[in-house]
Amino acid sequence: MCSLALFPPPLPSGQTTLCESNNELLSGINTEHRSKQDSGPLSLYFPRESLKLHSRTESSSKAAFLDHSETLWMRSAAAWRDGGFTGLLDEITNSHTEVPKWLSVSSGCILALLRWVSSFHGSLFPHLTLSSEDMIAEFSQLLNWSDCVVRAFAWHPHTDKFAVALMDDSIKIYNPKSATTPTLKHRLQRSVAAVQWKPLCASALAVACQNCLLVWHVDPCSLSTRPSSGCAQVLSHPGHSPVTSIAWSPSGSLLVSASPMDTAIMVWDVAAESCIALQRVGGGGVTFLSWSPDGSHILASTPAALFRVWETRMWTCERWPCVKGRCQSGCWSPDGSRLLFSVQGETVIYALTFTDSPAGLPRGSSTGPHAAAVVADLSETTFNTLDGDIIVGGEIQSLAWDPRGERLAALLKGDPLAADRPAIIAVFKTRATPIFELLPCGFVQGEPGAEPRLMQFHPNFRQGALLTVCWSNGRITHVPFYFLSAGIPSLGVSGSPSLPRPQERPVDFANQSLFTELIS
C-alpha cells in the first residue's frame, strides 16, 4: 500500500511546483518563473480586493418596511406565502391581541409541537440545523468554501474553455480562442457551490445555487460580455435547496442534482425542465454526486455514514455504510470500473471495483464487491526540510483522477491553525495492470502562504494530464504532467471521455479482490 512516507519531501518555502517531466516533479523559484507561467492566457489571478462583495442582508427585507398597518388577514396571507404553515402559526401566535385567545394559544401549542418534532429530526441529522451557507461550506468539495475567492471551477469537456465562479456570485467564462470573457450574473445565482459544463454540447453550463439550479446557454460565438438572464433556465423543486452537487450524465442527456436537505436525488431532463425524484430514506440528504465517465454508475454520498452507488440503467442503488464518517469525496476510473473514495475522519483512500453484468443481460444491476479495500494511507508523516519539520497528511478533502487514469490527486486538509501542517495536494501515479496500485509522484505546492482550495484535471490534455489548482489567494494555476500513457491512448479521436470501451477493460478483474493483500 502506498503511504506518504514514500513521497519525495515537500519543496522548501518559496518554490512552486511547475510540472512533471521525465517522471519527476520540477519546481522553480516563485518569482522568476511567474512571468513565464503567466504568459499563458489561462492562468488567472483574482485578488480578493478586486471583487465587489455585497453585504448580504437581503434574505429578508421585512425589517426595512413598516407593515403593522395591515390587517390580520393580510398579514396571515403574507405569512402563509412567505413562511408556509409555520409562518402562519407564528403570525397568529404573535398577534395574540387581535385574534381570539383560544386560536392564539392553540396555534402556539401546534407551533411548539412542530418545533419539538423538528428538533428531534434535527438531532437525528444535525446538518439540518445549519444555515444554507454553512451547509454548502460543510459539504462542498472546496476546502474552506466560505473563504474562497474562487467558488467553483469547471473545464469544458471538449474544448479549452472553462468557467470560474467567484465569491461575488458571478461566473466568468474564459476561452483562449476568444477575446471576450462573458460574465454571467443572475438574480438567483447566489452561493454557487458547483458548476459543470454539459457534455456533448458547446454552450450549456449548469450552476448549483443556493435556491435552485441554473442552466446557462452561453453562445460560444456571441460577442456579448453580459449574457442576459434570459439565457438561463431556472430549475427548482420545492425542498431541494441548497444544491451542493450536480453531475451531468456523460452522454449529456440528464443532469442530477443533490441537496443535503433533500433525501431525493433529482434527475433533470433539462430541455423539458422536468425532474424525477429518486427517493431513498436514510442518510438525511445527499451531499456529493459523481457520475462515472462511462455513465453506468453514480456515487451519491449522504451526510450520514452511508453512501450509495446508483446504477443508471434501471436506477437502483446499493447501500454502502461506512464505519467512521460520511463519504467526503470520490472519483471514478475512466472506464467506470473502479471507484476511489475517502471518508471523513479517516486518512486512507478506499477502492471499490465494479464488474459489469455480462453484456446483453437485461438485468441492470452490477455485481459489486463486498467490501472496500484500502489502497493508500495518507496518515500524518513528518518531513525534515530546510525550513524545519513539516507534517503532511490527514483527512482528504477531495480526490481527482485524470481522464486517462494515470494520475490521482488528493487534496489534504491539513490544519489551518498550525503553520507546519499546510493543506497540500498529493499526486499519485496509478497503474491498473497487472494489479491496481498507487505509486507516489509528489506534492504540488504553490506560492508561500497560498493553500490549494480546489483542483480539477483538464478533460483532454494531449501530452499527459493537466491539473488546474485554485489557490486561496485567488490565483488559478495549471500544473502539467507530461508522460506517455502506459496503455494505448484509449481516448477517441478528439478525446471524448464518454466513449464506451468495454473491450479495453483489463481481463483480470475477477481476481481483483487480492490486490490489497499483495500490496500491503
Partner 1 sequence: MFSTEQSCWFVRKVICWRAAASIAWAVLLLPPTTAVFVILSKFSLLHPIQTISECLSLLTSASTIFSFILLCGVILIIGFLNLEYYTVIPTIACSKIALLGQLLHPRQFVNSLVHCIMGMVVAWCCALTIGFRYETLGYQCTHPSDGHPQMCLNEYHLVFLLAGAFVGFSHSLLGVIHNMNYVSFQTVQQYKYLRFKGSLPLVVKCSAIQALYSVRNYIVVYFFLGYIPRAWICKTLNLHLNSSVHALDSITGLLDLSLLYHLWISATFLLFTWYMTLLLFRIFVTEVYSFPVQSSFTEDAHQCLPKVVTDKQPMILKFLALQDLALLSQHSPSRRSEVFSLSQPGGHPHNWNAISKECMSLLADLTQRLVAYHDTVATNGRAKSLSSGSERTSSETSVTSGTEDLMSPRPTLLMKTPASVFARSVIGGPQSPLTAPFTPDLDSPFASPALRRLTAPVEQCSPWHGTVQSPHIMRRVPKLWSTSTDSQVNGSPPPSPASVPSPKQEPSKPSFLTQFLQNKKEQVKNFLAKRVLIMYLFNKLPEASSQALFADSQAHIWALEGLSYLVQASFTEDQFGVVQTTLPRILNSMLVLQDAVDRHFKLPHASSKPIRSTSSITDSTYKTLRFALRATLKTAIYRITTTFGDHLNAVQIAAEHRKRLQQFLEYKE
Residue 355 DSSP code: B
Could you say which of 55, 60, 494, 511 contacts partner 1 (CB under 8 A)?
A: 494
Q: Which residue, 166 or 235, is less far from partner 1 as judged by CB?
A: 235
Three-class SS state of 16: strand
The span of 187-195, 381-389, 477-485, 494-502 binding partner 1 (CB under 8 A) equals 494-502
Three-class SS state of 51: coil
- Asked if residue 277 binds partner 1 (CB under 8 A), the reply is yes
Min separation Cβ 443 and partner 1, Å = 35
**Nearest to residue 242, comparing CAs of 356, 77, 128, 80?**
128
Q: Which residue, 59 or 279, is less far from partner 1 as judged by CB?
A: 279
Exposure string of 253-286, with b = 16+ CB inside 10 Å and e = fewer, is ebbbbbbbbbbbbbbbebeeeebeebebeebbbb
Instruction: State which of positions 203-232 bind partner 1 (CB under 8 A).
Output: 203, 220-221
| Angle, helices 72-94/101-124, rounded to nearest 10 degrees | 60
Grid cell, residue 266, equals: 433529482
Instruction: State which of positions 310-349 bind partner 1 (CB under 8 A).
Output: 313-316
Min separation Cβ 315 and partner 1, Å = 5
The span of 66-74, 182-190, 277-285, 339-347 binding partner 1 (CB under 8 A) equals 277-285
Dihedral sign computed on CA atoms, order 283, 286, 288, 294: positive
* Residue 255 contacts residue 312 (beta carbons within 8 Å): no
- Asked if residue 496 binds partner 1 (CB under 8 A), the reply is yes
The span of 52-60, 94-102, 119-127, 308-316 binding partner 1 (CB under 8 A) equals 308-316
Min separation Cβ 248 and partner 1, Å = 11
**Nearest to residue 43, comparing CAs of 370, 512, 447, 436?**
447
Instruction: State which of positions 471-490 bind partner 1 (CB under 8 A).
Output: none
The span of 34-42, 98-106, 264-272, 472-480 binding partner 1 (CB under 8 A) equals 264-272
Instruction: State which of positions 26-85 bind partner 1 (CB under 8 A).
Output: none
Q: What share of the chain is helix, strand, coil (3-state, %, to 5)?
A: 20, 35, 45
Min separation Cβ 179 and partner 1, Å = 15
Torsion region of 449: left, alpha or beta (phi above 0 gives left; psi -120 to 50 gives alpha): left
Other beta carbons within 10 Å of 332: 25
List all residues 6 or more positions away from 275 whose beta carbon is below 8 Å from its beta carbon. 235, 237, 266, 267, 268, 269
Could you say which of 39, 57, 362, 517 contacts partner 1 (CB under 8 A)?
A: 362
* Residue 411 contacts residue 343 (beta carbons within 8 Å): no
Q: Which residue, 419 or 488, is less far from partner 1 as judged by CB?
A: 488
The 156-195 site mask, x for binding partner 1 (CB under 8 A), equals: x-xx------------------------------------
Could you say which of 1, 111, 499, 519 contacts partner 1 (CB under 8 A)?
A: 499
The span of 1-9, 47-55, 59-67, 498-506 binding partner 1 (CB under 8 A) equals 498-506
Instruction: State which of positions 371-410 bind partner 1 (CB under 8 A).
Output: none
Grid cell, residue 394, equals: 490527514
**Which spans of this chain sit near partner 1 (rule: CB under 8 A)?**
156, 158-159, 200-203, 220-221, 233, 251-254, 267, 269-274, 276-279, 313-316, 359-360, 362, 364, 492-494, 496, 499-503
